[in-house]
Amino acid sequence: MKVIFYAAMLAAATLMTTQPVSAQADRKLLSMEDIVLNRELTPKSYPVQWVGASDSYSAIDGAELVAFDARTGKRRSLITIDKLNSLLSTNFKTFPAYGFNDEGMLIVAAHGMRNIIDLKIGKIVASHKVPVGANLTRQSGDGGVYAYTRENNLYCFDGTRERAITSFEDKNIVCGQSVSRNEFGISGGIFFSPDASKIAFYQKDESNVTEFPLFDITTRTGSTNNVKYPMNGMASEHVSLGVYDMATEKTIYLKVTDFDDERYLTNISWSPDSKRIYIQVLDRAQHNVHLNSYDANTGEMLKQILTEHNEKWVEPQHPLVFLKSDPSKFIYSTDNRDGYWNLYLCDDNGVIKRLTATDASVQYLAQDDKNVYYTSAEVSPVETHLFKVDIASGRMTRLTKAEGVHSVSVSKSGRYFLDSYSSLDVPRVVELGRCDGKPARELFRAENPTTAYNYAKIEMGTVKSACGKFDNYYRLIKPLDFDPSKKYPVILYVYGGPHSQMVTNSFLGQLRRWEMYMAQRGYVVFVMDNRGTSNRGAEFEKAINRQCGQAEMADQMEGMKWLMSHEWVDRDRIGVHGWSYGGFMTISLITNYPDVFKVGVAGGPVIDWKWYEVMYGERYMDNTQNNPEGFAKTSLINKAKDLKGKLLICQGVLDDVVVWEHSLSFVRECIKNNVQVDFFPYPRAPHNVQGKDAVHLYTKITNYFEDYL
């Protein structure tokens, strides 16, 4: 089997590499604690933010919060920490988290209150209590009203008293919380109208959703915590959208009738006048979107504005954004029209025009009267840059110049932007950029936090996808003191699932420190994004449709072929490690290519998509009834008998994302086939093992490779 891979040198482009560091005895190696817990290894940041709607930005300068005028650079004091402590009766030693409202007033939480401080007069002008026991709080734009959930119901505090917006005794009815397991861009369940007169909220009925038992060892006799888990092909939650009127204290529900009761109500958007609500309604099968508007007073549907259809899937992810300059128009995001995420200018009659004409993932960021600001991957799939597009002319201008991944915040005026970026060799730079294209001003440049450590060289490059159409980006770390005449064992780290990008032109190429730890111990470490991952357009991303893992494996094996074409690779010592989707990929690879991979460590792996959740899983895999071939081909239950190498599976016992029916069923299948496999549970960990437990985990993973690879 293995011979096929090193018959010929395969072409791959190396794009860039970190500056070579000559190995020095006085430089440290990473410890396991460094990998997991050492924050000093993250480049320092310089947190700045716009002071309300002004062109001044704030920064913390020791014991003082200061602001700088973007035009003149003039520094002024906003408030000292002593003054803040005196105002709030607090004892902050360092400046706490803070924000500004549009008027530039400072917002700081203390003693369970949310305080608004008018910096001009140096006084607290408002102080709102965060109700005890409340969570998932949201506040109206002016901060006067809070909405929050307690258990399964939704409440609001109107400044005077608490009101129960819902009062369901049945715990299967859950109000004000996120729905659809946070897919489709959903991250909360409370939506204030712009004028704060109404609160829209998600309500889900989980009566038909089965429960999964999570085993709790901390109770005296052992017990289970049962969580609702809608499983592939089975009954799912029913979602509706309530609208509570602060004045009448009444709730109406939007009359959504599209598709059936298991539809998804995604990307809730209020019209600027607070009269209408827009929903991107998606069918459970995730092939059709209806963008509808509804009357927020009556709940009646007003109009179906546009629809999307896709035989693979369509996945709405962004709410509408209304133009400041013309509230009858809005910006709509989709990747279903031109093969990439783009912005479309629409009104209630549908699409007016495509606003961004870019074959790269576009994401709306901000707007002023004339321009829309967006980021995209058009400079490179591994970089993020800021652009603006003139709404009227469609003229697009690139605003960030330096290579790398930029994170930006545009001032309300549209004149300036704050830009924090990094690239392979640049730890972090914060700049004040100018939207007129004039040169930016550097505000901060971080030291390289790793200079005390003996880091090996990191290379970034591309390998062609198995279909030949795409360049897949990799990150390659060669061992310390790399000698091309020697042979080194390899560890492939893999994630590979949708909505991910492991390799970008950010500091150290987005290195996970464990990779460097292994490189310091003599391993070649290789990481590559395959088809199905994000930022690369619909064809690339949807190549996995109905057979998760197949295109991904084909691409990863192209990467391995290229890697194994090098004489310095010990082809008898290749390992693979990944978590979650990467755990699925790890076991897929070691069972489908048993002669290539000698050792694998899989964490929280999907074993059969029939045990995964409805929202994410059905998008890619449909269900077992409609796609039996796809499920059969991708199920690792069917592959357990093919396992030849050493495989360790780790899983959090409290994993409510990939429930441990997956891994235990795989273990069971191995036992049935008399195939040896290893397993390790993290009894108090959810889907991801974090903090101190992760030190234990990465020690275990490392030991496993050291023992068996």
Say if residues 435 and 415 touch (Cβ distance below 8 Å): yes
Burial of 260 (C-beta count, 10 Å sphere; 0-12/13-18/19+): exposed
Q: Which range, of 77-85, 236-244, 406-414, 662-670, touches a copy of itself by CB under 8 A?
A: 662-670
In angstroms, the CA 315 to CA 287 distance is 8
Q: Which of 62, 122, 144, 213 binds a copy of itself (CB under 8 A)?
A: 213
- Smallest gap, in angstroms, from Cβ of residue 661 to a copy of itself? 4
- Smallest gap, in angstroms, from Cβ of residue 680 to a copy of itself? 6
In angstroms, the CA 563 to CA 103 distance is 56
Q: Which of 678, 686, 687, 688 binds a copy of itself (CB under 8 A)?
A: 678
The SS3 of residue 688 is coil
* 690 binds a copy of itself, rule: CB under 8 A: no
Interacting residues with a copy of itself between 574 and 613 (CB under 8 A): 611
- Phi, psi at residue 586, to the nearest 5°? -60, -50
Out of 58, 333, 655, 662, which one is annotated catalytic?
A: 655
Sign of CA dihedral 286, 292, 296, 301: negative
Q: Which of 239, 659, 701, 709 binds a copy of itself (CB under 8 A)?
A: 659
Close Cβ partners of 626 (under 8 Å, ≥ 6 residues apart):
none
Q: Which range, of 207-215, 423-431, 473-481, 537-545, touches a copy of itself by CB under 8 A?
A: 207-215
* 215 binds a copy of itself, rule: CB under 8 A: yes
* 223 binds a copy of itself, rule: CB under 8 A: yes
Give yes or no: 580 in active site: yes
- Smallest gap, in angstroms, from Cβ of residue 628 to a copy of itself? 16
Out of 580, 588, 635, 663, which one is annotated catalytic?
A: 580
Question: DSSP class of residue 350?
Answer: E
Total number of residues binding a copy of itself (CB under 8 A)?
43
3-state secondary structure 410-442: ECCCCCEEEEEEEECCEEEEEEEEECCCCCCEE
Say if residues 230 and 614 touch (Cβ distance below 8 Å): yes
Rg (CA), the chain: 27
Give yes or no: 635 in active site: no
Q: Which residues pair with 59 in a beta bridge?
A: 48, 66
State which residue, 429 or 670, has the beta carbon closest to a copy of itself: 670
Give yes or no: 687 in active site: yes
* Tokens standing for residue 571: 């082809």
Q: Which of 14, 45, 77, 210 binds a copy of itself (CB under 8 A)?
A: 210
Question: DSSP class of residue 151?
Answer: T
Close Cβ partners of 236 (under 8 Å, ≥ 6 residues apart):
208, 209, 230, 262, 284, 614, 615
Q: Which residues pair with 577 in a beta bridge?
A: 493, 601
State which residue, 230 or 559, has the beta carbon closest to a copy of itself: 230
* 676 binds a copy of itself, rule: CB under 8 A: yes
State which residue, 221 or 349, has the beta carbon closest to a copy of itself: 221
Q: Which range, of 165-173, 374-382, 509-517, 658-666, touches a copy of itself by CB under 8 A?
A: 658-666
Say if residues 281 and 290 touch (Cβ distance below 8 Å): yes
* 706 binds a copy of itself, rule: CB under 8 A: no
- Phi, psi at residue 665, to the nearest 5°? -70, -35
In this structure, how many other beta carbons lie within 10 angstroms of the beta carbon of residue 511? 22
Residues 606-625 as x/- pattern, contact with a copy of itself by CB under 8 A: -----x--------------
Out of 287, 499, 687, 696, which one is annotated catalytic?
A: 687
Q: Where are the beta strands (DSSP E) in 541-598?
A: 569-579
In this structure, how many other beta carbons lie within 10 angstroms of the beta carbon of residue 557? 19
Q: Which range, of 77-85, 218-226, 342-350, 377-385, touches a copy of itself by CB under 8 A?
A: 218-226
Q: Which range, of 17-25, 209-217, 247-255, 405-413, touches a copy of itself by CB under 8 A?
A: 209-217
- Smallest gap, in angstroms, from Cβ of residue 667 to a copy of itself? 6
* 683 binds a copy of itself, rule: CB under 8 A: yes
Q: Which range, of 263-271, 290-298, 589-597, 668-676, touches a copy of itself by CB under 8 A?
A: 668-676
Q: Which of 57, 68, 229, 278 binds a copy of itself (CB under 8 A)?
A: 229
Q: Which range, of 120-128, 184-192, 433-441, 652-660, touches a copy of itself by CB under 8 A?
A: 652-660
In angstroms, the CA 426 to CA 685 distance is 34
- Smallest gap, in angstroms, from Cβ of residue 575 to a copy of itself? 16
State which residue, 230 or 433, has the beta carbon closest to a copy of itself: 230
- Phi, psi at residue 633, to the nearest 5°? -70, -35
Q: Which of 10, 679, 686, 706 binds a copy of itself (CB under 8 A)?
A: 679
- Phi, psi at residue 257, to the nearest 5°? -120, 0
Place of tokens 């549009």: 102
Residue type, 91: N
Say if residues 553 and 518 touch (Cβ distance below 8 Å): no
* 661 binds a copy of itself, rule: CB under 8 A: yes
Active-site positions read 580, 655, 687
Contact positions vs a copy of itself (CB under 8 A) = 210-213, 215, 217, 220-224, 229, 231, 234, 611, 653, 659-661, 664-665, 667-668, 670-672, 674, 676, 678-684, 692-693, 695-696, 699-700, 703, 707
